[in-house]
Structures are given as structure tokens and as C-alpha cells.
Amino acid sequence: MQLEDQHFDIWQEVKGQLEMQLEHNTFQEIFESVDSIFKVKNNYIYLIVDNEFIKKRIEMLYLPRMNRELQRHVEEKHEYRLITREQAENALAQEKAFSISSPDEMATKSQIYHQANLNPTYTFNNFVVGNSNRLAYTSSIKVADQPGIVANPLYIFGDVGLGKTHLMQSVGNYVLEGDINKRVLYVKADQFVEDYVRYAAKKKFNEFNKIYRDVDVLLVDDIQFLAKKEKSQEEFFKLFEQLHNQQKQIVITSDRKASDLKDIMNRLTSRFAWGVTVDINRPDLEHRIKILEKKLMAETSETDLVPHHVMEYIASVFDNNVRELEGALKRVMFYCTAFNYDFTIETVESALENLIKPKQNSKDIIKDKIQNCLSVVSEYYNITTTDLTSKKRKRMYLFPRQVAMYLIKDLYALPYKRIGGYFSGRDHSTVMHSVEKISSDLQVDSDVKKDVEKLKQKCGENS
């Protein structure tokens, strides 16, 4: 009898015990559908459950009892573990991907994945597309589809937590999925530096080159970490040249534009513009809600457990980046399932208490910075801050006001409506037009450009 079968029988016994001990409803809700064993490994018995909610609930409340019960049926110490149906399916799919005839072949394959240094959970499929990342997304797909041909390098930049690593790794996973023999390598720039230093110290340049030059697709994450590492930049420059000449695909991410990478040699950064540059911005509210919905779907099949207005609430509080948004959702889910609370604004608020409070503090910090910026601008143009932020339409106030709005947008990337709040409640479109007006002035008027640069520096200085 297979281990799994044996444990299936034991589970039926244990389940019977639970049925007697628990309230009827609780038993039905939680345990009724737990009816299969994923696998038995290292004395862990993996039971398949429908979703993350049930998993958490069992783990929080019933696992010790189940394990005690289990112990009465086995000699050695065994423990139950839980796995959601989705996780089990993913694991099976992965195993299948590796299920090749000969063990040798299999070893090579797993080595390939390992060497590529990729996280297989980052895929195009689970990347939610919106205005803020559409171009980056389509460019990445094109690159993954025709590496080395359509855009080389592909340079993706944007603030932290907005999906750069996710997209970049999706490219790698997509390429490998299409052809397991393609050589893909993902590396963080600081890892590249470390590697270089280590191999150089031992003068093992051949080995170093073998790792990095022998690739079809090179993914270099957070290139800004090459800053001030001249030797590594030199080495990366050579690598870049060689791969580029051979039409090997290079994808680079960064927290800023290539031209703003001041501490990286120009010779290198100017080459980043040879291919295609795309940026990723903060997702808007609607997009954030979509992301939450997708993440929720990955966690549970009962997506209507969290009402829409609650999702909207979470999405509206966490407007900064996707990583925070994701973290917030996980926390809410855990909190509500663990304590068996409904998903209401109130429970969400208490679940996120610690996360929201510091955020409000950071809002206060920004508020101070903006106040400072407003006084810098009014001082510069010799008007009062009250006039600057008023609705008065005199020319002498109008231009400084537009400049101030532009600066705030540029420095703090606040939503237009929130900026309007600092100017007697002006609306989204007024602020947007002001920002656009100054942006276009900057292109044609060198005086405006000088003023804005000076002011930007001053605003930065005192904050």
C-alpha cells in the first residue's frame, strides 16, 4: 500500500474524530471538503484544502488537535501540513515541466532554471496591466517573443515596488518556457559587482566571463547599484558591447532614467538609449483595485468575500506602490480569517492600524515639505504665500502659482487633486494644465528653465 493511501485512511479516521468534537456547521464549513492528500514527505502529510482562508483557519485553530489525533495512528512522529488546491496544481505543473525521461536530462533542466536565477512565479499572466505600465508590459512581451531583435537593450525604469523586477523576470520565464535550451541569466547589479570583485580577486576572469558572456538573455536588475563601482562598470561595459554585438537580448531596470545615472560612466549609460526605454508609474485607483482583485483571486476562490468598497478602501489608502498594496491585502486577509471577522472598513482599519499610521506620518512629512516649497516660491517671486495659494487671477500670482504646482508635482509626484488642495481646492484639471504649461515652457524658454532649476534646488535644500 502506498504511503499516500495509508494516510488517506488515517485521515478519514482523524476526520471522523473531528466531526464528533466540532460543531456541525464548523465541521462542514472547514473539514467536509478536505478529502485528498497531496503527498507524504519527510513525515509531513500534505492535505489539500480549497483555499487560503480555510488553510489559515485550520492552521490557526485546528492543526494541533489534528496532529494529536494523528499521533494515535502512527508510531513515528508525523504532522499534517496544508496546501491549497491552487498551490498543489502549480506544484504538479512544475513537476510535470521537469518530468523528463532520463534523470540526467532532468538534472540538467533543473540546473538550467537554477542557473537562470529566476523566480517562476513572476509571469506575464499574473501581471495586471493599466495605463501606468502598459508600454512597459507590451515592450517586455515583444522582447520576450523576439529576444535580441525588437528592442536592445530594453531599459525599464520607475520607483520601487511598481513591478520592474516582476516584468523583467517574466521575460526570462517566458523565454525559457518557449525554449529550455535558451540561456537566460537574471542578476541584480549589486550581485554582479560582488561576483566581479570575488572573481577578480582570484584572477579567475575566464570563469567570470563564462557565467556572464555565455547567455542569450541577460537581465540586470537595479542598475543604479553600479554607481561609483568603476571597475565593475568597465567590466559591464565590455559585457554589454559583446552581447549587444551578438544580438543577445539585454534587459535593464533602474530607479531612474539612464541620463540621471550620474555616478555611472556616460560611455555606458548612453548605450542604454540604443534600444527602447520605458517607464512604470504609480497605478491609479482603478488599476490598484484590479491588482487587488487579481491578488485576491490567487489566494482564494471566494472572491466576493471581500466587498468591493472594502477593496476600494484598501486601494485608496495604499496609493504609493504595489508591494505595499499587496502586503496590506495579505494582512487584512490573515487578520479577518484568523479572528473570523467580516471584511468591513472597520476590521480593515484595525488590521492595518500599524501600517496606516506611519503612512499618515509620512503624509505629514510631505505636507511640511510642500509648505516649505510654497514659501520658497513666494519668496522668490516676492509675493505672499497666501496670494500664491489663493484664487486671485492677477498675472503676478498666476505664473508663480503654476511654477509651484509644477514643482510639487515634479518633486513629490502627488496626485493632481491633492496638489489642488494646497491651492484653495483647485481641481484636478486646473493643476494638470498648470503643470503641463510649465513643462512646455521649460522646453522653449531658458529663463523659465533657470528659474525652475534654481527653485527646485532650493525646495530640495531645506527639506
- ∠ CA 295-296-299, rounded to 5°: 95
Q: Is 322 in the site for ligand ADP (CB under 6 A)?
A: yes
> What is the C-alpha separation between 447 and 424, in angstroms, rounded?
28
Indicate whether 195 belongs to the interface with ligand ADP (CB under 6 A): no
* Least CB distance to ligand ADP at residue 322 (A): 3
Closest to Mg ion by CB, 83 vs 261, is 261
CA 42/CA 64 separation, integer angstroms:
18
Under the criterion CB under 6 A, does residue 128 sit at the interface with ligand ADP?
Answer: yes
Please give the order of strands across the beta sheet that includes 249-254. Answer: 184-188, 217-221, 249-254, 154-158, 276-280
Least separation, in Å, of the C-beta of 125 and ligand ADP? 10
Q: Does 165 bind ligand ADP (CB under 6 A)?
A: yes
Please report whether residue 370 would count as binding ligand ADP according to CB under 6 A. no
- Measured between alpha carbons, how far apart are the two ends of the chain, in Å? 71
Q: Residue from 14, 223, 291, 376 that binds ligand ADP (CB under 6 A)?
A: 291
Smallest distance from the beta carbon of 333 to ligand ADP, in angstroms? 15
Task: Choose, by CB under 6 A, the member of 84, 133, 254, 277 that binds ligand ADP.
Answer: 133
Cβ atoms 176, 113 nearer than 8 A = yes
Residue 323 contact, options Mg ion, ligand ADP, none, Cβ 5-8 Å cut-off depending on partner type: ligand ADP
Alpha-carbon 451 to chain mean position = 37
Stretch touching ligand ADP by CB under 6 A, among 181-189, 322-330, 416-424, 430-438: 322-330
Smallest distance from ligand ADP to CB 37, Å: 30
C-beta of 165 vs 232, nearer to Mg ion: 165
CA atoms of 287 and 290, how far apart (whole Å) = 5
Residue with cell 504646482: 405
- Residues 10, 70 contacting (CB under 8 angstroms): yes
Residue 128 vs 184, nearer CB to ligand ADP: 128
Query: How far is residue 424 CA from its own chain's centroid?
Result: 36
Residues β-bridged to residue 47: 37, 82
The residues binding Mg ion (CB under 5 A) are 165
Nearest approach, Cβ of 362 to ligand ADP (angstroms)? 18
Which is nearer to ligand ADP, 115 or 281 (by Cβ)?
281
Please report, for residues 15, 21, 201, 291, 343, the alpha-carbon distance to residue 51 in angstroms, rounded to integers and kept in the order given. Answer: 18, 23, 50, 19, 17
39 binds ligand ADP (CB under 6 A): no
- Name the binder of 15 from ligand ADP, Mg ion, none, CB < 5-8 A by kind: none
163 interacts with ligand ADP by CB under 6 A: yes
Q: Which helix (H) or strand (E) holds 252?
A: strand 249-254
Nearer to Mg ion, 165 or 233 (CB): 165
Asked if residues 314 and 295 have their Cβ atoms less than 8 Å apart, the reply is no
Q: Which of 47, 116, 151, 162 binds ligand ADP (CB under 6 A)?
A: 162
User: Could you tell me how far CA 183 lies from the centroid of its own chain?
Assistant: 25
Kindly state the smallest distance separating residue 57's Cβ from ligand ADP, in Å: 24
How far CA 404 is from CA of 320, 365, 428, 456, in Å, comes to 22, 18, 15, 10
Of ligand ADP, Mg ion, none, which one does residue 39 interact with (CB within 5 to 8 Å by kind)? none
Please tell me whether residue 217 binds ligand ADP under the rule CB under 6 A: no
Task: Kindly state whether residue 288 participates in binding ligand ADP, applying the rule CB under 6 A.
Answer: no
Among the listed residues 46, 80, 127, 422, the single contact to ligand ADP using CB under 6 A: 127
The DSSP result for 312-336, as a single string, is HHHHHH--S-HHHHHHHHHHHHHHH
Q: Peptide bond preceding 103: is omega within 30 degrees of 0, i.e. cis?
A: no
Least separation in angstroms between residue 292's CB and ligand ADP is: 10
* Binding test (CB under 6 A) with ligand ADP, winner from 161, 415, 421, 460: 161
7, 166, 426, 458: which one contacts ligand ADP (CB under 6 A)?
166
DSSP secondary structure letter of residue 129? P
| 70 vs 291, beta carbon nearer ligand ADP | 291
Q: How far is the CB of 255 from ligand ADP (least distance, A)?
A: 8
Which C-beta is closer to Mg ion: that of 84 or that of 165?
Answer: 165
DSSP alpha helix (H) spans, 100-217:
103-116, 134-145, 164-178, 189-201, 205-213
Phi–psi pair at 162, nearest 5 degrees:
-105, 5
Contact characters 222-261, ligand ADP, x per CB under 6 A: ----------------------------------------
Q: Where on the chain is the footprint of ligand ADP (CB under 6 A)?
A: 127-128, 133, 160-166, 291, 322-323, 326
